Structures are given as structure tokens and as C-alpha cells.
Structure 1
Amino acid sequence: MEVDCLPFRETGYFSSLICDYLDEKKELQPFYGRFPHLENFGAQITEKQISFPQENRTVLVQSLKRQYGAVSMSEATAAAIDSLKHENTFTVVTGHQLNLFTGPLYFLYKIVSTINLTKRLKESYPKYNFVPIYWMATEDHDFDEINYFNFNGKKIQWNFDAKGAVGRLPNEGLHEVFEVFSAVLGSTPHANELRLLFEKAYLQHSTLAGATRFLANALFGDEGLVAVDGDDADLKRLLIPYVKKDVFEKLPHQKVGETIEALTGTSADYTIQVNPREINYFYLTDGLRERIVEKNGSYFVNDTDFEFSAAELEKELEAHPERFSPNVIARPLYQEVVLPNLCYIGGGGELAYWLELKSYFEAVGVVFPMLLLRNSALVISRKQADKVKKLNLSIQDLFLRQNQLINKKIRQISNIDIDFSPQKKVLEEQFEQLYRLAEQTDKSFLGAVKAQEAKQKKGLDKLEKRLLKAQKRKLKDHVVRLTDLQNQLFPNQSLQERQLNFSELYLEYGQQLKHHLFDALDPLKQEFLVIKL
């Protein structure tokens, strides 16, 4: 295995906000706490240890043991859960939707990054324990975002009339999905392992949350991964004071709104990931997850007949906290209230909305976690690596947009000079003389000279493009090989990790895939990785 690195900024796939964060631009420092350098975790540990109540640990451990009651968890995961009762144990968290069969490949990168960071922290801070957490987005209701995965360029999709929180969905209709997937897997030993994994997860569990917990445990239980389901009455009881500040005082709406204004004022290149609502909670029951809204002092649940006075809604919250489901603004706070957490590991989009939240956390007295961009990677087989070498491509070349890549390589290999820059320079020198002449005569002549220069430069551009097009036809074989390779590595001209499901790589490498990822992914090395297997 070989690993090459590329700065995130040079890939062209990451926003200026995230690249500036990685560069620790001073303008962004007010929007986060400590940057995730290894040496900064000591102070984060001390701050979280002082602020995190022991009673929250007790509730957390009891809830996790109940959630894992029907799962044959690994010894490592059982030990990790037990350790959370002790004040010297802390967590590192990543979160992910309940995508069918893990969804895109980066699910694995998130988990591996999280586990690897806990190992690094244990080496550097040996008197403490560190537990990797996968926060399952069981309360999401965007079923269309999670009901499929891609396999060999085809969408394997679960068709189901879903309503409410996805974690509560029954696994009906997944037998048909299993049959479709099984038919295209083949009959190799690795294919049979995947077939059995899917069957045990989705056909032997009654809900999507249960299936996903089993899957996470099967893949990473031996590493002590703990999956947390926030759709839990006891955990949400710890959240009640913060729900009140949101629903009745509109605190996050105010604080996050102020932060967004400050953040966008820092740079015109920064776009806002999410906007706060006046109330950032949904009302959640079986088959229902709808926004809570206030109108004229009364509280309503969108598209239902539910209506509450302020006193009635507060009573409902005290009696049934499990019915109050946080949205994307409120969920991060929930996570930090119930977990002794040090660091959140997420993708660029996730970190972008976390950067909106620090003042909100400060206002409610909750420690803001360190924010770490998850590892991103491009996996290249030996055969593909050989093609890259034969085509004389650099790592940077692979990340060019396809048209840019083709144009660049055609210019390099063509026996004709397609660059008309010398001709443009000669043209500019000729027009300099005309500009001097125009200055000496009628100034109105100057506009005509400028127009003529622009016309002739445009003509040269057209000729250059036609010559390039002609050379593409002449060198068609090279263009085809080039585009075929890039299409393999960047399906749908997107990052591989956002398109492929892990099963495609598992068919090739089996259990070794995880070992390769654990060896290659360094969560504190903030660069894009190219892994040659």
C-alpha cells in the first residue's frame, strides 16, 4: 500500500470556508474553540471533565446498555460502555444518517477516523480512556436521502412509503432489496460475506435503527465502537432545560443568527450551511415528525391538529421529552449535553454548520467541542495506478475537471503547439503602436482601436479552440483512455467516496479493506489521501 497526499484546497472539492478553517485563518478563530492539534486535547479534557455531571454519565451508560440489549456486542464495545461511567473517560464522535448498507463510502472513513483518533489520544494521554462514538441520525425523516446505495454504477433502492423518523421504520420490503443485491454480487467468498452481512442486518432486525446498530457493531465492534441512538426518553430528559430555552426564549435563533451575520461578514466566499428557526424542534411520534411553530402565543405542530398553550407544551415536554426531536441546529447541543465529548469529526458541510454554533453553546453553558474534518480518500487499485503512470498523470491531474484534464494533456502530448500566447503577445505589441497613434490624434479613435484588438484576440481564441478540438479527434484513443480512467476514479465526475458503496471495494479486498484504511487514515493529517492498494 502507498499513500499520497494532496492539500484539500488543491482538490477543488472543498469550500473556501473549510480550507480557511484548516489553515487556521485568524478571521475564523472566534467561531470555534480549540483547533484539533494533539497538544490541545489536554485543555479540552480538563474543561469537559469539570463541566460534565456524573449523573449524566449514569444515565448515558444505562441508556446504552438498554439500546444494546438485543445486540450481541463485542467485548470491546461492552468495556467501552462500562468505562463511560468513570470521570476519566471521554468520547470522540462522528455522526451519520442511517443510509442503506452504510450508503456512500465515506461512512467508513468517518468511523475509521474516529477510532484512530481515540487510539492516538490514548497514546498521548494514557491516564484517560477514549471511546469512539457513532451518533446514529435515527430521528431524520429524509427517507429519500438514505433509501439506496450505489453498486457498480446502479442504484440499489428500497421502495417504501416512509413517514416519520427513519430509525423507527420497520424493515418491510428489504427482502426484495436483498434479492436484487444478492443477484449482482456474484459467488466469490467476499460476495458471500457481504450477502450474509446484509441478510443478518436487515432481514433479522425489525427496525432500521436496529439494523444499522447491528451493521456498525459487525464492522467495527472489535474496535470498541459505540453506536448511540438519540431517540431515547432518558437521554432527552437531560435536554429539557435546553429545549425550554429554544422553544420559549428563542435563544438559538438569536445567537446563531448573530453568528451567521458575523461569519458572512468575514468573507463573501462563505456560504451559510443552515439557518436557525425560531423553534428548532420537531414534534415526534410514530409516523410523525413535524415542526413546532408558535403563532400568537400558541404552539402548533405543522400539518396536524395538535395545539398547545405555553403551559401545556411545557407540561408535555416534562412528561414526554422523547416527543421533542432536535433539528440540525439543536442536535449538536443534544450530543454534547449527553456525552463527555471532546471532538466532533465530520465532513465539510457538517463543520460549516458547527462553525455557526459556538456563541449558542456559550450562552447555555455547554463546552464547545473541537472540530475535525474527517479523512477523505481516493482508493486506486494497482491496475489503475499503472494506467495513471502510463498516461503520465500526476495526482493533481486526477482532480482536474474532465475538460480541463483533457485540454491539459492534449496540449502536452500534441506535436503541434496549441498555445497561441506568443501570437497574442505580438498582437498586443502591434496595438500598442496604434494606441500611441490614437493618443496623438482624435481621442474618439481610441475606442475603435480597443474594439479591433478585442475582436482579433477573440479570433485567436476561436482558432486555438478549433485547433485543440482537431487534435482531440486526432488523439482520440488517448482521450478515451484518459476519460475512462477518470470516470472510474471519479464516478459521475464526483469524489469516489460520495458515490461508491464499501461493498465494491470489499469484493476486491475483503476484510483487508478495513486494515488498509486503519493503516492509511490519519485523522490529524489534514490532507486528502490517495491510497494505492
Structure 2
Amino acid sequence: MNVVPEPLPGGSALARDYIERYDKVRHLYGGDFRNEESRRERAAWLDGRESLRADRSKVAACLRVYNERHNPHAEVMASLELLEQPGTLVVTGGQQSGLFTGPMLVIYKAITIIQAAREAGERLGRPVVPLFWIAGEDHDWDEVNHTYVLSRTHELSKLKMDKEEGPRASVSDIRVDEDSWQQAVEQLDGLLQESEFKPQLMASIREASLGAASMTEVFAKLMGVLFGKFGLILLDSADPALRRLEQPFFSSLITDNDALEAAYLQSAAELKDGGYELQAEVTAGSANLFYIHEGSRLLLHKKDGKFTDRKGNIAFSREELLALLADHPERFSNNVLTRPLMQDYVLPVLATVLGQGEIAYWAIPHRAFGAIGGQMPLILPRMSFTVVEGTLHKHIEKYGLAFADVVTGLDAKRQEWLAAQDELQLGVRFEETKKAFTAMYEPLIEQLGTIQAGLLKLGNSNKDKIVDQISFLQAKAQDAMEKQNEAALRQWERIERSLMPQGKPQERVYNIMFYLNRYGPAWLDELMAVPPDYSGTHRVLYM
């Protein structure tokens, strides 16, 4: 595997500034993981806050139950034993649970978390464990119910999991029946080409989905299959047992809600004044908390001294909401702006791994941490890759392309190449023919107009029809040229479809199962062995 840094344009202006011009935006963040002094300062600060976080022994016990059920690896249990000990720190990162692990960026995030925890532990001389925070409390089913794979014919193929109509529940609470899982697994089986690794891969997927009640359960089991041996702890943010441990902090989020709202609004204004677009909604009057009512996850707002949802289905005073929290903590849920605060209460977070969109919206709660006496953890850009298979690499070299050409779109390059295959120079000759015909015909038409005015109009109409017929023949000739070069043009399409599917980076679309099926489980070990790079630089993996 050859690893080559290659720019990948895109992302928000704020994320680009964080990655490339950190000094410009350092006031919006707690610190940069890439700076070793920042790590030591953050670690010392966490040591002094031990008694203000959730009891780590109870957190470890809760996570042990969850991981024994979904991620029962000896290395994970060892990580949990370390987490239970005072002084152990955590590198974390999270994502919504996705079908068959979702897009490959999820895999790259897990790899970044594991490698960063390992490196931080070595540099700080103390235990640092990796933890993946599954955002199972999120309710956007349409965002997680599908994934894309390259089929055995190298076509972009979509897999989708349907559910019955029901309330907007958290993904972890949406029940998926066994028949739906069976159908999705068989569809994946049919799309993947036969390989020596396929039986073992499909057996793992079938085992993970057998009897699973939710998308999150299968996601956790598959992440355990892939990363359990590296000691990656899994946490589901919708775990009711975890909710009970989070209850004291939810109480603070309710009690100090007005101060938090002011902090979010001030940060939003600061970002806008700096010329940045907000990557998460900040609304006056929002409580930035969800309440689970009759299975529906409702965003709370403050109106007339009450906490209510937009439609007014529920309304509670602050005291009533706190009483409900005491009796039913499982009914409460964070949004994207309060989850960073909760994560910092539950875990001794040294650093959190974020994609570019997340880096941008994490700037919004930076003042909220201070409003509750906290401090934002260090931010670490997720590692980013594009996988280029050997055959694909040969195609790229054959046509003299660079990775940047693929990223910006191959239409112009493809037409340029096709024109070069035209030994008869048909394009040039057709254009010359149309120009010569027009030059000869137009003077004749003008002379005909002196005989009878109607002949001028008729002549111009006749000229246009003849030019159209020449253009029609030119198009047919172009089609014939493309048909003659059909095999080569399919290679151009494959390059684009493999590396920039739907015009998006590969890691945001494709699922890892195609590559595990093609290269086997050892391929993941190769990925884990790629030297870590926390600069935010995109890298191309030439297989």
C-alpha cells in the first residue's frame, strides 16, 4: 500500500481555518491535540476535576454491561479496567449508527481514535483508552437507513432498510424486524463479488444481525468485530443505564439553561461576525434538549416560563421538568450542542475526534463549557482517505490523470482524450464544413432577397435546416466514436464512480464491506498500520 497526501477541496471555511490556520481560530476552541503542551495541560485540568464528573467506576460498569453484550473482546475489557482507574483518560469520537457501519468515514474515525489514544498514552506516560460514542439517541432514520456499495459489476448500488410508520423515535429505539435484516443481508450478499474472504465476512454480518432489535445493535456488533481487538470501547448515547448516570448533569442543563442559551447565542454571533456560516442551528428560546413523549423525541423550547415542544403537545415548568428527570431520566436526550457537554461530564475526555463539519459546529458550544465551569476538550481532525485499487491506478496512469483531476470532475479531460482519438479530425472538419457552407450560402440568400422579399426568409430557414442536418450527422459521428472507444470510456466512468461517487468523496458514500470482501480482514490491519497524521491532510491509499 502506497500512501500519498493529496488535497481534497471542500469543507467549511471554519474547519479549513482550524486545520490550516489554527492561530486564527484558537479562541473558538479549547485546544489542539496536535500540540503536546496542550495535551499535558488538558490532562492536568482533568485530574483536578475528577470529583466533578460522573463516577468513573459506575460508568465503567455500565459500559462493561453494554460491551459484554455487543463487543465482548478481551482487549475491550482491559480498556474498561483501565477506565475504572483514576488517572486514565479517554480519546473519543462518535457517529450515528449506520447500515452495515455506514460510510467509510466512520471506519476512519475509529482508526483515528484508536491511534490517537495509543500515541497520547505513550507521550503522556499514562493510560489513555479509545472510545466510540454511538449517537443512538438521534432520530434521523433517513440518514442512517441506507448505505452504498460497489457491486460485483462495479456499479454504485444502494442498500436501504425500511421501517414501519411510527413516532420520531431515537434510532436505538426503532425496532427492525428479523425479516428486514435478512432481506438487507441477502441483498448485500448478492451485490458483493465472490472472493476467498466472502464466506467469513457474510457469516460475521449474519451473526451480528441475527436477533438484533435495532440498527444500533447491529452497528455496535459489527464495529466490535472490526475494532474490538484494538480495545475500542463502545458507548450508546441512548443506553437507559447510562441515562441514570447522566441524570445529575441533565439537572444542571435544565437549571442553567438560560445561561447556556446565552452562551450559544453569543458564540453564534461571534462566528457570524467572523464571517463563518453556522453548521448547527442556534435559536433563541431553544432549550437544546429533547424529551421523549409517547415514543417521539421532541425538541424542547422555552415559552411563557414553560419548557414545551413546537406544537405545544407538552409543557412543563422548570420544577416539573426536574421532577420528571428524577423519576424518568431515560426520557431525556441531548442535541448536538449539549452532547459535547454531556460527553465531558461522563468521561475524562482528553480529546475528541471530529470530521470537518463537526469541527465547525463544535465552535458553537465553546462558551457553553465555560458557562457551566467546564473546559472544551482538545479537538483532533479525523483522518481522511481515498482507496485506489491497483487496476484503477493503472487506468489513471494510462490516461495521464492526477487525483486532482478526478476530484474536480473528468468531463473536460474525457472529452479532450476522446477528441485525441479522432484521427480523422471529424470535429474540426464538421465545423469547417458548416462555416464554409454558411460563407457560400449567405451571399446567395441575400441576392435572392433582391428578387423577392419572401425568398430571404425562406433561404435563411433553408440554411438553418441544412446546418442542423450537418450537426445531426456530427452528433452521430461523435456517438460512433464513443462506441468505438466504449471499453475505454467505461474505464473513465469506473475511475469517477469509484473515487468520487455522486460527485462526493469516496469516504462519504461507500461502505467498507466491498473492500473487506476484496482484500480480507488483514486489510484493516494494514489501515491501522498506516502512520497517523493529525494535520487534517487527505491521503490516497494506492493498493
Between the aligned partners of 1:204 and 1:314, the Cα distance in structure 2 is 37
- 1:360 — aligned with what? 368
Q: 318-327 or 496-505, which moves further after superposition?
A: 318-327
Between the aligned partners of 1:395 and 1:328, the Cα distance in structure 2 is 34
1:503 to 489, 501, 513: 513
1:166 to 157, 166, 171: 171
**SS of 1:349 mapped into structure 2:** helix
Matched residue type, 2:187: V
**SS of 2:86 mapped into structure 1:** coil
**SS of 1:396 mapped into structure 2:** helix
Q: Are 2:337 and 1:338 equivalent residues in the alignment?
A: no
- 1:106 — aligned with what? 105
Between the aligned partners of 1:258 and 1:404, the Cα distance in structure 2 is 46
- 1:243 — aligned with what? 250
Q: Are 2:526 and 1:516 equivalent residues in the alignment?
A: yes
Matched residue type, 1:159: D
- Give the Å deviation of 1:154: 1.6
Between the aligned partners of 1:109 and 1:326, the Cα distance in structure 2 is 25
Say if 1:285 and 1:295 are closer, same or farther in 2 by CA, change over 3 A: closer
1:190 to 171, 178, 197: 197
**SS of 2:541 mapped into structure 1:** strand
Matched residue type, 1:5: P
Equivalent residues of 2:307, 2:316 under 8 A apart: yes
- 1:77 — aligned with what? 76
Between the aligned partners of 1:23 and 1:414, the Cα distance in structure 2 is 44
Q: Are 2:302 and 1:294 equivalent residues in the alignment?
A: yes
- 1:41 — aligned with what? 39
- Give the Å deviation of 1:185: 3.2
**SS of 1:86 mapped into structure 2:** coil
Equivalent residues of 2:73, 2:229 under 8 A apart: yes
- 2:325 — aligned with what? 317
- Give the Å deviation of 1:490: 1.3
- 2:87 — aligned with what? 88
- 1:14 — aligned with what? 11
Equivalent residues of 1:116, 1:523 under 8 A apart: no
Say if 1:326 and 1:362 are closer, same or farther in 2 by CA, change over 3 A: same
1:27 to 24, 28, 31: 24
Q: Are 2:292 and 1:284 equivalent residues in the alignment?
A: yes
Q: Deviations over 1:462-502 (max 9, x none)?
A: xxxxxxx9999898547664444223321112111111111
Matched residue type, 2:20: D
Matched residue type, 1:130: V
- 1:155 — aligned with what? 158
Q: 244-253 or 92-101, which moves further after superposition?
A: 244-253
- 1:431 — aligned with what? none
- 1:421 — aligned with what? none
Between the aligned partners of 2:311 and 2:86, the Cα distance in structure 1 is 44
Q: Deviations over 1:342-366 (max 9, x none)?
A: 1111211111111111111011112
- 1:376 — aligned with what? 384
Between the aligned partners of 1:18 and 1:515, the Cα distance in structure 2 is 29
Say if 1:250 and 1:407 are closer, same or farther in 2 by CA, change over 3 A: farther
- Give the Å deviation of 1:169: 2.3
Computing the radius of gyration from Cα coordinates, the structure with the larger value is 2
> 5+ unaligned residues in a row in structure 2: which ranges?
428-474
- Give the Å deviation of 1:527: 0.9
Q: Deviations over 1:299-347 (max 9, x none)?
A: 3345574332332111111222221101111111111110111111121
How large is the Cα RMSD of the aligned pairs? Answer: 2.8
Between the aligned partners of 2:489 and 2:192, the Cα distance in structure 1 is 31
**SS of 1:284 mapped into structure 2:** strand
- Give the Å deviation of 1:111: 0.5
Matched residue type, 2:277: T
**SS of 2:539 mapped into structure 1:** strand
Q: Are 2:182 and 1:175 equivalent residues in the alignment?
A: yes
Equivalent residues of 1:377, 1:531 under 8 A apart: yes
- Give the Å deviation of 1:401: 2.6
Q: 22-31 or 470-479, which moves further after superposition?
A: 470-479
- Give the Å deviation of 1:42: 1.6
- 2:438 — aligned with what? none
Say if 1:82 and 1:380 are closer, same or farther in 2 by CA, change over 3 A: same
Between the aligned partners of 1:186 and 1:403, the Cα distance in structure 2 is 29
Between the aligned partners of 1:52 and 1:320, the Cα distance in structure 2 is 26
Q: Are 2:281 and 1:275 equivalent residues in the alignment?
A: yes
Q: Are 2:501 and 1:491 equivalent residues in the alignment?
A: yes
Between the aligned partners of 1:487 and 1:178, the Cα distance in structure 2 is 23
- Give the Å deviation of 1:241: 5.1
Equivalent residues of 2:381, 2:535 under 8 A apart: no
- Give the Å deviation of 1:244: 4.3
Q: Are 2:262 and 1:263 equivalent residues in the alignment?
A: no
Equivalent residues of 1:63, 1:232 under 8 A apart: no
1:201 to 199, 208, 213: 208
- Give the Å deviation of 1:147: 0.9
**SS of 2:197 mapped into structure 1:** helix
After TM superposition, the structure 1 = structure 2 runs for residues 310-459 of structure 1, keeping only pairs within 5 Å, are 310-403=318-411, 405-406=413-414
Aligned length: 476
Q: Give the TM-score taking structure 1 as reference length.
A: 0.82
Between the aligned partners of 2:121 and 2:208, the Cα distance in structure 1 is 31
Between the aligned partners of 1:25 and 1:291, the Cα distance in structure 2 is 34
Between the aligned partners of 1:475 and 1:16, the Cα distance in structure 2 is 43
Q: 248-257 or 301-310, which moves further after superposition?
A: 301-310
- Give the Å deviation of 1:125: 2.2
Q: Deviations over 1:264-320 (max 9, x none)?
A: 2112xx211112342111112563211223332233345574332332111111222
- 1:455 — aligned with what? none
Q: Deviations over 1:44-78 (max 9, x none)?
A: 21112212327521221121122234346111100
Between the aligned partners of 1:296 and 1:285, the Cα distance in structure 2 is 20
Say if 1:74 and 1:412 are closer, same or farther in 2 by CA, change over 3 A: same
Between the aligned partners of 1:193 and 1:60, the Cα distance in structure 2 is 34
**SS of 1:344 mapped into structure 2:** strand
Q: 364-373 or 189-198, which moves further after superposition?
A: 189-198
Between the aligned partners of 2:375 and 2:245, the Cα distance in structure 1 is 15
Matched residue type, 2:30: G
Say if 1:259 and 1:307 are closer, same or farther in 2 by CA, change over 3 A: closer
Equivalent residues of 2:34, 2:380 under 8 A apart: no
Q: Deviations over 1:393-425 (max 9, x none)?
A: 223323223345447778999999x9xxxxxxx
Equivalent residues of 2:290, 2:298 under 8 A apart: yes
Between the aligned partners of 1:87 and 1:411, the Cα distance in structure 2 is 68
Say if 1:411 and 1:271 are closer, same or farther in 2 by CA, change over 3 A: farther
Between the aligned partners of 2:39 and 2:398, the Cα distance in structure 1 is 45
- Give the Å deviation of 1:178: 2.1
Q: 407-416 or 343-352, which moves further after superposition?
A: 407-416
- 1:437 — aligned with what? none
Q: 296-305 or 189-198, which moves further after superposition?
A: 296-305
Matched residue type, 2:367: S
Matched residue type, 1:135: W
Say if 1:412 and 1:34 are closer, same or farther in 2 by CA, change over 3 A: farther
Say if 1:254 and 1:471 are closer, same or farther in 2 by CA, change over 3 A: farther
Equivalent residues of 1:238, 1:337 under 8 A apart: no
Matched residue type, 1:129: P
Matched residue type, 2:301: V
